[in-house]
């Protein structure tokens, strides 16, 4: 299952994570974001222990979303060792998110 985080948890959950992290920046008002949620929940379960998926609500934590240079939602960003490795903007097929995980070093 995905975990919603706030800026206070950012360093521990993302930058200091010992596994790659997908960060889903979403809005509750956003139909594509709601459509993406089950896919990300499935990936979080499937890759548990090898990667994690966290969510940032753009309405709740605007400063964090702005700091990530998110212009539209959903935006999914891959991090490994505290560095951004890639991002997908808009709703994509599940395979695109799997590819992003592989590019982040998840096997």
Q: Domain boundaries in the chain?
A: 3-103
> Each residue of 86-107: pLDDT tens digit?
999 999 999 999 999 999 999 8
Residues catalogued as catalytic:
30, 33
Question: Tell me: the pLDDT tens digits for 74-89?
Answer: 999 999 999 999 999 9
Going across the sheet that includes 3-4, the strands are: 3-4, 52-57, 21-26, 75-80, 83-89
CATH node for 3-103: 3.40.30.10
pTM assigned to the model: 0.96
- The distance from CA 102 to its chain's CA centroid, rounded to whole angstroms, is 14
């Amino acid at each position: 299952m995905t975990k919603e985080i706030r800026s206070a948890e950012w360093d521990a959950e993302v930058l200091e994570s010992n596994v790659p992290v997908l960060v889903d920046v979403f809005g509750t008002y956003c139909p594509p974001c709601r459509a993406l949620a089950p896919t990300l929940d499935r990936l979080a379960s499937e890759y548990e222990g090898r990667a994690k998926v966290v969510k940032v609500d753009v309405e709740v934590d605007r400063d964090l979303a702005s700091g990530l240079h998110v212009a539209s939602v959903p935006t999914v960003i891959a991090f490994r060792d505290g560095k951004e490795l890639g991002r997908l903007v808009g709703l994509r097929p599940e395979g695109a998110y799997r590819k992003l995980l592989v590019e982040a070093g998840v096997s």
